[in-house]
Amino acid sequence: MPAAKAIGIDLGTNNSCVGVFENGEVTIISNNDGKKTTPSVVGFFEGQKPVGKQAKEKMHKKPSNVIFCIKKLIGRKFDDPKIQEDIKNLPFKIVSKDGNAAVEVEFRGEPTVFTPEQICACILVDLVRTANRYLPHPVEDVVITIPAYFDDSQRQATIDAAKLAKLNVLRLINEPTAAALAYGYKEKWKNGILLVYDLGGGTFDVSIIKVSDGCCEVLAKNGDAHLGGEDFDNLLVNY
């Protein structure tokens, strides 16, 4: 019996996806809606926690019960200036739990606080379900991509979210590094210095990577947690 495969997950600010390496290439697995990506959105309605499109479709019922951009909160202190700025822009309630940023929603008829790790775990569980429908064996091992700017607290919080989803994290990989590895595998890159940038829905990352004999070394990295497609949208709306 073949061993269960590890999966790769891109846990994005706006959208997430899951893939597996098979037959010499990466397959991005489609969800129940036939889409390669799932919105990184979790809703809280009538005792249920819908994820993705199903959560977005319920946003009109109670916007404050639909949580998105949770990646901006994970591993951050409530008094972080960036969190205080997010409080002004996000339609749901951000509160302090043990000094860390968390969200409060109405769930099962009463105010309930959920940590970013718990909300990210809901997204991860949904992605694992997608993978399990495709793969012959249940998934346990995972590699997760994270922004290059994530500090130790944010990295640990991501691992904690995976543990809540009953996953074993083999490794966290910076998103630009993952992109470079994928490109290098496909294009058979030559030795040299690369600049890789990742401009997403909510974040912007850049890495300087040295390629030598098929191996890559990250020489420098940086990023901005508040520079992405949503920030462009907000500027246009407020213009």
Active-site annotation holder among 86, 117, 126, 175: 175
Mean pLDDT score of the chain: 91
Tally Cβ neighbours within 10 Å of residue 163. Answer: 14
Active-site annotation holder among 86, 160, 198, 230: 198
Catalytic site residue 175?
Answer: yes
Catalytic site residue 224?
Answer: no
Active-site annotation holder among 49, 71, 72, 221: 71
**Contact assessment for residue 4 and residue 170, using Cβ atoms and an 8 Å cutoff:** no
β-bridge partners, 22: 25
**DSSP letter at 72?**
G
67-100 pLDDT, tens per residue?
999 999 999 999 999 999 889 889 999 999 999 9
Catalytic site residue 86?
Answer: no
pLDDT at 1: 46
Q: How confident is the model at residue 54 (pLDDT cuts 50, 70, 90)?
A: very high
Catalytic site residue 57?
Answer: no
> pTM higher than 0.85 for the full model?
yes
Give which of 76, 23, 67, 28 is closest to 45, Cα–Cα: 67
CA angle 206, 212, 218 (to 5 degrees): 25
What domains lie within the chain, and their CATH numbers?
Answer: 1-177 (3.30.420.40), 178-224 (3.30.420.40)
